[in-house]
Amino acid sequence: MDSLLCAVTVLKILVINTGSSSIKYQLLDMKEQQVLVSGLAEKIGETTSILTHKKILANKKNRTKIKEERICNHRDGLIQITGLLVDPEYGAIRDKSEISAIGHRIVHGGEAFISPTIITEKVIEAIKKNIPLAPLHNSPNLTGIEVAMSIFPNSRHAAVFDTAFHQTIPPKAFLYALPYDLYKKERIRRYGFHGTSHSYVAERCADYLNRPLKELNLITIHLGNGASIAAVKNGECIDTSMGMTPLAGLVMGTRCGDLDPAIPLFLADHLKMSLKEIDRLLNKESGLKGICGANDMREVIEKKNKGDNLAKTAMEIYCYRIKKYIGAYFAVLGDLDALIFTAGIGENAPDIRKGCCSGLIRLGIEIDNTKNYQPGKGLREISPSAGEVKVLIIPTNEELQIALETRKVTACWSKGSGFAENPNL
């Protein structure tokens, strides 16, 4: 059967992102690619949990229900969410059988997964093997899979990996200069993250330019509280700033980014800090927060505008690090068609975009100040009309990308067929 014909049967997809004490979800109508409901269950397992559920109405407004009562565990949370999905007032379906497929965001696919895949026992086992690479994420992701499969046994389930887009990176870019056995035996290498976002904006860029993605060289910059940058050559990722963990690369809200690897040894030796304390320092107390006391870029900009010199310095460091990566990735690409800003800061902070691109005109990268500072939503071009490199703002939509990937991989799959199962497993 033709895959396009199959795809029309996958009409409603539930996207689930399960954390250690949370479940973030969206139900999408794939015929129109519209969000029907969205929500977040927080503080699962605590004395008082919060479930915020929104039904998206025809006028783009929403009808919101907030429940503040204990959610015992993830199963209890998903049962409550399912009840709201079918609720006459707050839901968007009459019965859970209307959900054709469920897309699960999985943080770490290691080297086993180069693309989304149907969830089978082999897939679950492979995800379990990657828990040491992302213990705070893969374990709750698996819990979400197990709970959802028990509540939605007749829906098709797919895993979409945050690392998959970066699996085209060559060894010269993903290997660290450590003894090779550490890579072979312990899988220590660069993996990269935010892959769903980088993939989504790259595809939207190709649509906008009306050119095949495989013909484009792009630099995609995801700037949220976490931040990363990727070099995309002929439609495939060839390098990215995050490493074995999301700590490496750009300066972030609370993460330090690239760091002299001897600094943790110095902290342990001279300040007698434990490994746990150092880990918290680098991941939770550094970045923008470490420099100026604020991790929200809006607050940093506000402090800077009021004359706070440390906030000014934090912004300069933030932009400088991005600019260095832009230069490095231009060098490895050799040619550049478009530079893309996305995520909360990338989409909404013109001062940051200007700081990242200033002085790069010799590379063909230039921003039109009027376009850059003009308020707007959606995809927009902020480079001069005659600019050599298109500089674009493309809002990311990771949930939609997960739904699109889920539809693609589940469209013609029948249970037990093994369709789209990763050949590496």
Tokens for 280, please give them: 């918290």
Q: What single-letter DSSP state applies at residue 186?
A: H
Question: How would you class 59 by CB atoms within 10 Å of its CB: exposed for 0-12, middle for 13-18, buried for 19 or more?
Answer: exposed
Contacts of 326 by beta carbon, 8 Å cutoff, 6+ apart: 219, 221, 229, 339, 356, 357, 360, 363, 365
User: How far apart are the C-alpha atoms of 25 and 14, rounded to whole Å?
Assistant: 7
**Given its phi and psi angles, is residue 397 left (phi above 0), alpha (psi -120 to 50 degrees) or beta?**
beta
Q: Which of 141, 155, 12, 148 is nearest to 82 (CA)?
A: 148
Q: Which of 189, 213, 230 is nearest to 329 (CA)?
A: 230
The strand pairing partners of 236, in sequence order, are 233
Contacts of 172 by beta carbon, 8 Å cutoff, 6+ apart: none
Which of 76, 87, 162, 337 is labelled catalytic? 162
Contact status, residue 159 vs residue 165, Cβ threshold 8 Å: no
User: How far apart are the C-alpha atoms of 375 and 412, rounded to whole Å?
Assistant: 42
2 is catalytic: no
Q: Which of 12, 83, 13 is nearest to 41 (CA)?
A: 83
User: How far apart are the C-alpha atoms of 230 and 325, rounded to whole Å?
Assistant: 9
Contact status, residue 42 vs residue 49, Cβ threshold 8 Å: yes
Contact status, residue 235 vs residue 202, Cβ threshold 8 Å: yes
Active-site residues, by number, are 162
